[in-house]
Amino acid sequence: MSRQPPASISPEVLPRALILALGLLLGGCAASPKQGGWFALRWMEKPGARGPSTQAPEQDQARFEQILSFDAGQGDGAFSQVSRQIREGDVIAYRMTMKDAYRDILMLKLSKVGYRVFRYGHLAIAVSDPVNPARLRVFSSESFKGPNLREDIASLRQHDFDVYRLDKWQRIDRARLHEFVQASMHKAGKWTGYDFMGLFGLANSNLRPTAPENIGHDYICSTVVVGALYYAGLELDAIQREGLLDLVTPAQVVDSRGRFFTAGNLALETETSD
């Protein structure tokens, strides 16, 4: 007779729990990533079916559209054409060929296992450079580094990636987006800025921050994008079960729809309630 799971555990959570065993192999969001994913695990990457966008009128809904794609083997000319089209707010989803992923895994770069398990292995968002606003930098979170702006758009040349753009980017509060970037980097510190609990899908750092003081101290690459966009006025359907027992993958983010709200008003309401 087979052993039944405890009644207190939701059946939909159990398959996700098995993925936790891959945690050490996944290694989080890779620092130098390069299309992958196991078809059998694609169901894990679906956004919430009853997310906030389903409760919003059409004019307040948003979605991502894939607008660009680049493979490192295409060369400098192709990269120049692609990179010139990237704008602030574009979300960059890194992928890796099976050959490249297995090569790196054989070299014990175990963080690349994620590229074979899921559709994308890393996620970032383009934001203006705080020092030189005319330039763009790549904002993400990496294991043992935390949220950072270490790379610029030129660094993408060595990677394979797809670029996704919000269809209503003009409604994003850019000032609050920049505030989130600065606050998350200030709070985090190297490995302590990376959300290893989120990596294992056990619990995520605050994905609905409304003020600098409740921005989380640690995020993974996908949740730092979710948190940043929420802070700037866009709540995505990517989150399930309030972030508990939810491994938020990069594909889960870019496949997600969302709903716009006035972030400044929410922050004011939070301060008043406190």
Quick: pLDDT tens for 98-111: 676 556 556 655 55
The one-letter code for the residue type at 204 is: N
Q: Confirm if 33 and 121 have CB atoms less than 8 A apart.
A: yes
Residue 36 lies in a domain: yes
Mean pLDDT of 111-124: 75
Q: Confirm if 257 and 58 have CB atoms less than 8 A apart.
A: no
Element housing 249 (H / E) = none
User: Is it the case that residue 268 has pLDDT exceeding 70?
Assistant: no
Residue 9 lies in a domain: no
Tokens 């939810």, residue located = 246
C-alpha to C-alpha distances, 164 to 32, 94, 177, nearest whole angstrom? 19, 11, 17
The one-letter code for the residue type at 246 is: D
Residue 160 lies in a domain: yes
Q: How many domains does the chain have?
A: 1
Buried/exposed code over 102-124 (b: 16+ C-beta within 10 A; e: otherwise): bebbeeeeebbbbbbbbbbbbbb
Q: How many angstroms separate the CA atoms of 250 and 106, rounded? A: 24
Residue 123 lies in a domain: yes
What percentage of the chain exceeds 90 in pLDDT? 48
User: Is it the case that residue 43 has pLDDT exceeding 80?
Assistant: no
**Confidence at residue 219, expressed as pLDDT on a 0 to 100 scale:** 85
Residue 105 lies in a domain: yes
Residue 273 lies in a domain: no
pTM over 0.85: no
User: Is it the case that residue 250 has pLDDT exceeding 80?
Assistant: yes
Q: Supply the DSSP symbol for 4.
A: P
**Confidence at residue 262, expressed as pLDDT on a 0 to 100 scale:** 86
Residue range(s) defining the domain that contains residue 147: 16-268
Tokens 């054409």, residue located = 81
Q: For residue range 217-245, what is the model confidence (pLDDT) as tens digits? A: 778 889 999 999 999 999 999 876 554 44
Mean pLDDT of 193-202: 43
Q: For residue range 121-142, what is the model confidence (pLDDT) as tens digits? A: 899 999 999 999 999 999 998 8
Residue 10 lies in a domain: no
Residue 88 lies in a domain: yes
Q: Confirm if 199 and 28 have CB atoms less than 8 A apart.
A: yes
Q: Supply the DSSP symbol for 204.
A: -
Q: How many angstroms separate the CA atoms of 164 and 146, rounded? A: 23
Buried/exposed code over 244-259 (b: 16+ C-beta within 10 A; e: otherwise): ebbbbbbbbbbbbbbb
Mean pLDDT of 170-196: 79
